Amino acid sequence: MTDLHLAFRLPHGPRGIEIDLTLPDPGLTAIFGPSGAGKSSILRAVAGFERTGGLIRYSGETWEDGRAFTPPHRRRVGMVFQAPRLFDHLDVEGNLTYAARRAGCLNEVRPMADKFGLTPLLARKPATLSGGEAQRVALVRTLLSRPRLLLMDEPLSALDTASRAAILPLIEQLRDEAQLPILYVSHSLAEVARLATRTIALAEGRVQAQGPTAGVLSDPRAARAFGAEEPGSLIEARYAGTEPQGLCRLSLPEGQLILPALQPEPAPGEMLRLVIRARDVMVATIPPLGLSALNILPARVTALTDLDAASVDVQLTAAGTALRARLTRRSVETLKLAPGAPCHAIVKSVALARD
């Protein structure tokens, strides 16, 4: 059993941070929320950089319980920061060798450099690297330290679009192949939607929602954590090819979506994650005509949840997948929507969780 259990209160802002949760392994768990929510403070506590006075347990070991405290070097936790923090006086190979020597795995330096595309950079000093290259070196150096748990503190936030696009597949590869538990802090909805198997939505030092990412992204209780990034539906679709006039098709279990052509073009049959915000879904009780929307899906209402005095969260099954729409109470009453009612979902906008 390698669950990570956190239960503590940290001074942070006017109310502090209160955490009590258990995270199962493996996979990538994202801590998502606005700046100042306390995300990085949680990582620092798990790494042992900050005492909490509470309880932190991992893999059956007590790292902190208010009396005992395990120092960072004995926790075998690897941490990747926003800034790479490489040794400037060493070249890339020297940085990797430093971590590998301490972990007793010098024979892994060259294979890891090859695997992550660092071989051409081995003789270069950190000052000559781009931001994306330096962050890739920092990630591999951390892996060569053989951590039991990998912490990543907004590792892409300082990178440009091209550098992020190069590193995201590496993080996906780690998530899928390394069997290494990852705790990943981000304020980017696109990153969370693409990478996370589980998500903790954090706002004002409190957990608003937690669980599988698709459920958290659609949970109205997470609204404070998302802020302007309103929760919606996280769905998977298979790339099915191009259409005329610069469009492409994505296959759903019982239908398809039409989107503007994607660049770079995905591989045939590649599975993609999509985010559809609740405010970008309209509902009609009869097939609508004369609309510019390309995606009109047969649907059925599965549940209705009151959000406030004026708004209702309408849960739908459309084309074999779950969608959510945020409607006014007046619209729900006018359309006579109820669980089981047939309808049509008009999807106005789809965001690809790709960068």
Q: pLDDT, tens digit, for every residue of 134-180? A: 999 999 999 999 999 999 999 998 888 888 888 888 899 888 888 88
User: For residue 127, what pLDDT band results from cuts at 50, 70 and 90?
Assistant: very high
Residues 214 and 79 in one domain: yes
CB 77 within 8 A of CB 151: yes
Percent of residues, the chain, with pLDDT higher than 90:
51
pLDDT of 355 above 60: no
Q: What is the per-residue pLDDT across 213-256, written as a single tens digit (0 to 9) for each?
A: 988 888 877 777 776 556 678 899 999 999 888 999 999 999 99
pLDDT of 72 above 90: yes
Buried b (16+ CB within 10 A) or exposed e, 7-18: bbebebeeeebb
Q: What is the per-residue pLDDT across 96-111, written as a single tens digit (0 to 9) for each?
A: 999 999 999 999 999 9
Report the distance separating Cα 17 and Cα 349, nearest Å: 35
Residues 41 and 183 in one domain: yes
Domain boundary among 203, 229, 255: 229
51 Cβ neighbours under 8 A, 6+ residues apart: 45, 64, 69
Residues 325 and 311 in one domain: yes
Residues 266 and 155 in one domain: no
Number of domains in the chain: 2
Domain boundary among 229, 263, 282: 229
The reported pLDDT for the residue numbered 160 is 86
Three-state secondary-structure class, residue 14: coil
Report the distance separating Cα 122 and Cα 110, nearest Å: 9
HSE (side-chain half, CA atoms, 13 Å) at 203: 12
154 Cβ neighbours under 8 A, 6+ residues apart: 39, 40, 82, 185, 186, 187
Q: How far is CA 319 from CA 1, 167, 181, 237, 293, in A?
A: 38, 33, 34, 11, 16
Q: What is the per-residue pLDDT across 341-351, written as a single tens digit (0 to 9) for each?
A: 999 999 998 88
Residues 214 and 243 in one domain: no
CB 120 within 8 A of CB 15: no
Residues 198 and 338 in one domain: no
User: For residue 12, what pLDDT band results from cuts at 50, 70 and 90?
Assistant: low
DSSP secondary structure letters along 36-94: TSSHHHHHHHHHTSS--SSEEEETTEEEESSS-B--HHHHTEEEE-SS----TTS-HHH
CB 58 within 8 A of CB 6: no
Sign of CA dihedral 220, 225, 227, 229: negative
Which of 25-39, 58-72, 337-351 reaches the highest mean pLDDT? 337-351
Residues 106 and 248 in one domain: no
Domain boundary among 229, 247, 274: 229
The CATH number of the domain where 319 resides is what? 2.40.50.100
The reported pLDDT for the residue numbered 80 is 94
The domain of 44 spans 4-229
Which two structure tokens, joined as six digits, stand for 316?
């739908």
Residues 285 and 219 in one domain: no
CB 214 within 8 A of CB 300: no
The CATH number of the domain where 10 resides is what? 3.40.50.300
In the 8-state DSSP scheme, what is residue 122? T
Mean pLDDT value across the chain? 88
Percent of residues, the chain, with pLDDT higher than 70:
96
User: For residue 317, what pLDDT band results from cuts at 50, 70 and 90?
Assistant: very high
